[in-house]
Amino acid sequence: MELFVGTILYMAKYWTQILELTGEHLYMSVSAILIAILAGVPLAVFMTRNRTVATIIQTIINIIQTIPSLSLLLIIMIFLGLGYSTAIVALALYALLPIIQNTYAGLENVDKNLVEAGTGMGMTPMQLLTKVKLPLALPIILAGVRVASVVSIGAATIATFVGAGGLGEMIMRGISTTDDQKILAGAIPAALLVILVDMLLGLIEKKAGYRMHTVKTQK
């Protein structure tokens, strides 16, 4: 109880600093998710065209997941140096797995009859992708984005190791001085961010699913 009250008081006293760190945290994780989507979705589309490529990409993103965060940061640092860029690229690499996996699974599981119907109507492969496959796979892709965001926001606490700040900085300062209030003052906003973003994406996901449904019944 004393810890709880102390944490609230601490957060009230340093709220500008916590807000700034939260901003950095959100900036890095959102950028990482956007990059992961922009890179992951086209890659997954490519994977549906070619089995060998699919296996290779699958293996690579699986390997990336197993690299410990600090070594991944060190490798990226060789090219991008200290700061936001290195942290964002590392987070994007971790976020690739759920996005690629879900997009790939979503596209692969589109009803073959619908694809055939599209082909029968004379659709080009591009039209088939943008007008049939991607819209139908969208709810599953969004579920992947949701997982990726939770992973990214959680993992963004490692950004502090390359001087990029974020709420991890507060947590690490707490750990290095055995100050539980500081640890919580960093951990609580991070947890709230995860919950908030997850709820937001859940709403979007629901909306997307609903729209697909109405499109289908209109046909």
Partner 1 sequence: MRYRWMSSIIMVVISALLVAGCGGGGNVVKIGHQATSEQTIIAHMLKQLIEANSDIKTELVGGLGGTPVVLKAMQNNDIQISAIRYVGTDLTSSLGLNEFSKDPQEAFDLVKNGVAEKFDQLWFPSYGFDNTYIFTVRKDVAEKYNLHKISDLTAHAKDMNMASDAPWLERTNDGYPAFKKEYGFEFGKTTPMDIGLVYKAVDKGDVDIVLAYSTDSRLKEYNLVTLEDDKHFFPPYGASPVVRNDTLKQYPQLEELINKLTGKIDTQTMTALNYQADIEKLDPADIAKKFLVEQGLIK
Write out the residues near partner 1 by the rule CB under 8 A. 27, 31, 34, 38, 70, 73-74, 77-78, 81-85, 88, 158, 160-163, 165, 168-169, 172-173, 175-179
Give whichever of 139 and 165 is closer to partner 1, judged by the CB atom.
165
Going from the C-alpha of 33 to that of each of 93, 95, 153, 185, the distances in angstroms are 9, 6, 9, 25
Of how many residues is the chain composed?
219
Least separation, in Å, of the C-beta of 169 and partner 1?
5
Least separation, in Å, of the C-beta of 70 and partner 1?
5
Residue 80: Cβ within 10 Å count: 16
Give whichever of 69 and 119 is closer to partner 1, judged by the CB atom.
69
In the Cβ-directed half-sphere of 102, how many Cα atoms lie within 13 Å? Answer: 20
Give whichever of 19 and 38 is closer to partner 1, judged by the CB atom.
38
Q: How far is CA 121 from the centre of its chain?
A: 36
Give whichever of 10 and 104 is closer to partner 1, judged by the CB atom.
10
Least separation, in Å, of the C-beta of 30 and partner 1?
9
Report yes or no: 149 and 138 within 8 Å, Cβ to Cβ.
Answer: no
Contacts of 160 (CB under 8 A, 6+ apart): 166, 168, 169, 171, 172
Give whichever of 74 and 114 is closer to partner 1, judged by the CB atom.
74
Least separation, in Å, of the C-beta of 58 and partner 1?
26
Burial class (CB in 10 A: 0-12, 13-18, 19+), 188: middle
Least separation, in Å, of the C-beta of 51 and partner 1?
29
Residue 105: Cβ within 10 Å count: 15
